[in-house]
Amino acid sequence: MIKKANFKITAAAFGVAVLALALPPQARAAEFSGPQKTELEKIIRDYIVSHPEVLQEAMAELEKRQAAGDAEKHKAAVKSNAQAIFSSPRQVNLGNPQGDVTFVEFFDYNCGYCKRAMMDMFALMKEDPKLKVVLKEFPVLGPGSVEAAQVAIAVNMQDKTGKKYQQFHEKLMGGRGQATKATAMAVAKEIGMDMARIEKDFAGPEVKATLQESFKLAEQLGMNGTPSYVIGDSVIVGAVGLEALREKVNTTRCGKATC
């Protein structure tokens, strides 16, 4: 029987004890009897109550390992989908088409965080002439978002230089209220697009295929919200801010937060 009075548990001993309890029952049977197991569980409980910081440390370590595991999964997903992520004929290309780092953003026109993230993207483009920017429609916030994305794709189909699309994107993303087909069509008309062709392409197979490609990529990359990014072999979910994006671009380019 374990003598509690003589048992001075350390962090290492605690880990061994927890590991022992985590073993399958058949593996533990030869080591601890019923009373021993009860006594050991009481010691562990008392230790946790007296040292709750152990739980915080364990959770921090778990989160660290999960993050590392997610990063490896993301790297593998980026590698296996690299062509569709970085070089799809359906994507929108801005910035330097020959840039040494590609910044890919998945967004929704009705995403408030995306509206703020747009300014981060333009700031990076302005300060970094070697940055290639790829935009992918990822309308996850309802029918209005889907319709706005359909109009946006039709705009891109008319002008592969990206200039008209950038005008459209900035005006619609920066506008007030919900983005819908009506608001998107109004912006397309304002920047001088061929509206008859927009209407024709709106529900066409190329628009549908573009959206399907984006959603498939997002699923493969584990994206569950907007904005989401691919920079180098990293996947970033959420509006992390300009500085974090700049650091990721630099890390991809030169291995450091500042090049």
pLDDT per residue over 70-104, tens digit each? 767 878 899 999 999 999 999 999 999 999 999 99
CA dihedral 53, 55, 56, 58 (to 10 degrees): 120
DSSP 210: H
Which pLDDT score is estimated for 57?
A: 79
Identify the CATH number of the domain in which residue 241 sits: 3.40.30.10
Is residue 130 assigned to a domain? yes
CB 86 within 8 A of CB 98: no
Is residue 243 assigned to a domain? yes
Which pLDDT score is estimated for 5?
A: 38
Do 95 and 198 lie in a common domain?
yes
pLDDT confidence band for 128 (50 / 70 / 90): very high
Domain membership of residue 236 as a residue range: 82-254
Do 160 and 246 lie in a common domain?
yes
User: Could you give the number of structural domains in the chain?
Assistant: 2
Cα gap 60→48, rounded to integer Å = 16
Average pLDDT, the chain: 86
Edge-to-edge strand list for the sheet holding 234-237: 92-95, 131-137, 101-107, 228-231, 234-237
**Helix ranges (DSSP H) in 23-179:** 25-28, 34-50, 53-80, 82-86, 112-127, 143-158, 163-173
Do 90 and 47 lie in a common domain?
no
The answer to whether residue 150 scores a pLDDT higher than 50 is yes
Check whether the bond before 227 is cis (ω within 30° of 0): yes
Is residue 164 assigned to a domain? yes
Mean pLDDT computed over 15-33: 53
Q: Tell me if residue 237 falls in helix, strand or coil.
A: strand
CA 174 vs. chain centroid, Å, equals 22
Is residue 31 assigned to a domain? yes
CB 140 within 8 A of CB 225: yes
